[in-house]
Structure 1
């Protein structure tokens, strides 16, 4: 259970890269309190290398509650994005870099946004691991940190307990994923609905994983996953899937869950619902047409499945999305 979160305060940091994670954490706390869950008791503190105010981008002061030397242990550390080239700034932050390395070695998870990833690279905890950073800094990052496996085509990466987001917007996506890991999928979905569901695509479509969770060793299951990804519209039963894999339904269910964390039919429903989200956001197709396009012959059943998956009906999801896709000028015509 997470007990302590540290927001690292650094000169010339982008407040948006810190404010969004903090607001999402507080939204999670509110939901956890309503459910009377003990996880709501986590503490969030702003900490800096030295005592006194830290000037963020624009010259506004942030007042840390603790110095890093006073913090012996934290469960999650949020490292904000830094404005422009961070190279000169990094030279002044060796104690912060050492503290990050120590905290990670003690078991902390670290989430960095944009060029804040450089602090992790300087600490050496990204060596041999994938990472991403702001697109404007990719070339220099690759020159400065050749031991890091830079992922130029991914906005999000996860390597063990290290989470990187290339930008403030992708940082919001990563926070939803983190909240799911910390507090459960239902809590993460509620926060997602509160914070810009229209700009978020399913996390799994964009992330680069380093832990091999999607490259597991069960070849039969992997082949079946690939088939489902290309044929999710097909009507299929567990028995039919088991026949394809040359297993009994019970064996397939057990091995699929062991490898992927969910049953084959749950995996199929998720694929269909992910596709439905895209169609709801980007087309004018009716709910019935979207149900058919996703492999559901019964639109009522589709609505029930989607609501279970997204904690809202297809119509509610579309309404939230469309309300922010059009300006008031267009709406007035």
Structure 2
């Protein structure tokens, strides 16, 4: 039987992550027993204090055990913890050596959404892939530059460490773990019981690109503002470099460092974001939207759009514009 430690951190924690994990793993046990098989998971809520208030005292969580009571565990689950990172880390610092110790003793570790900040603080993610909520990608990169953040993925797995993307994508990671530990047949039944879309791998369709301006490089900010104001035009790196009186290589290096995108990637993402909003709100056809955002090559537009969103323009329009006419 696998021992699962669901952490109950101090502060504003996702109760959905905590209760949802407990409920779904418990349902796996019930399902297995109904099939004449032994339960798979021994599940405990694990904390650093006996009663933990959540969401400004609106809720409280009572752990089954404290970290010092757990001698051996097989899977540690870290829920999303909201609030300013340095404060949440200070409140929950005691978890860090405990997580590291149990990982070294063979436990696997899974973080949900922005629980990745606590996981990354252990140092266990250094040099590894990690997913988190797309809204927190820029802040995460600035704090943990040695972690390979892949903000388009719903989940990652590397060396017994799992991470999930934003919000309810934690359900997809839970299904993945169930399939790994209990088999595909059990995972499918659980997916149907909880109506979870199995085998989703990307959170790209849900990303709202807002640019990354939380930096101090003023020429790069000017370049970003120019791109965003002139998305309907063809913009080149050389044009931006000349405008800012910078060398091309210097601009590209500084832009990548400040925004985590190349100049070309940023231009593409700005154009695609405008196209997405157009598909969501009006009845223009694909070619009209393509021309509006400065593309003249139909294939290039469709390829870029799908690379960024994970969906073709028509698929995106069908998904998010109920009233729109779908026209090629």
TM-score calculated relative to the size of structure 2: 0.59
Structure 1, unaligned runs of 5 or more: 208-333
Instruction: Find the aligned partners of 2:128 and 2:115 in 1 and give their Cα distance.
Output: 16
Paired residue for 2:35? 35
Structure 2, unaligned runs of 5 or more: 204-328
Paired residue for 1:176? 175
Q: Aligned to 2:82, what secondary structure does the other structure show?
A: coil
Contact 1:57 1:83 in 2 (8 A): no
CA deviations on 1:77-118 (whole Å, 9 max, x unpaired) are 111111233321102322211101111111111111111111
Paired residue for 1:273? none
Greater share of residues in helix: 1
Paired residue for 1:164? 163
User: 1:204-219, aligned counterparts within 5 Å?
Assistant: 205-206=201-202
User: 1:6-17, aligned counterparts within 5 Å?
Assistant: 6-11=5-10, 12-17=12-17
Contact 2:188 2:198 in 1 (8 A): no
* CA RMSD of superposed structures (Å): 1.8
Contact 1:86 1:115 in 2 (8 A): no
Paired residue for 1:22? 22
Paired residue for 2:52? 54
Paired residue for 2:192? 193
Q: Using the TM superposition, give the Cα deviation of residue 160 of structure 1 relative to its aligned residue in structure 2, in angstroms.
A: 2.2
Number of equivalences: 202
Q: Aligned to 2:92, what secondary structure does the other structure show?
A: helix
Q: Aligned to 1:94, what secondary structure does the other structure show?
A: coil
Instruction: Find the aligned partners of 1:25 and 1:45 in 2 and give their Cα distance.
Output: 11
Instruction: Find the aligned partners of 1:172 and 1:93 in 2 and give their Cα distance.
Output: 24
Paired residue for 2:146? 147
Residue 137 (1) aligns with residue 136 (2): yes
Residue 115 (1) aligns with residue 114 (2): yes
Q: Using the TM superposition, give the Cα deviation of residue 201 of structure 1 relative to its aligned residue in structure 2, in angstroms.
A: 4.7
Higher mean Cα deviation, 147-156 or 183-192? 147-156
Alpha carbons of structure 1 residues 182 and 127: separation in structure 2 relative to 1, 3 Å:
same
Q: Aligned to 1:126, what secondary structure does the other structure show?
A: coil
Q: Using the TM superposition, give the Cα deviation of residue 37 of structure 1 relative to its aligned residue in structure 2, in angstroms.
A: 1.7
**Consecutive aligned runs of 4 or more in structure 1 exceeding 6 Å deviation:** none
Alpha carbons of structure 1 residues 135 and 85: separation in structure 2 relative to 1, 3 Å:
farther
Instruction: Find the aligned partners of 2:199 and 2:68 in 1 and give their Cα distance.
Output: 38
CA deviations on 1:4-39 (whole Å, 9 max, x unpaired) are 11110012111011122211101111111012223x
Instruction: Find the aligned partners of 1:158 and 1:37 in 2 and give their Cα distance.
Output: 28
Instruction: Find the aligned partners of 1:87 and 1:140 in 2 and give their Cα distance.
Output: 12
Contact 2:151 2:165 in 1 (8 A): no
Alpha carbons of structure 1 residues 56 and 99: separation in structure 2 relative to 1, 3 Å:
same
Paired residue for 1:295? none
Q: Using the TM superposition, give the Cα deviation of residue 58 of structure 1 relative to its aligned residue in structure 2, in angstroms.
A: 4.8
User: 1:201-280, aligned counterparts within 5 Å?
Assistant: 201-203=198-200, 205-206=201-202
Instruction: Find the aligned partners of 1:152 and 1:43 in 2 and give their Cα distance.
Output: 32
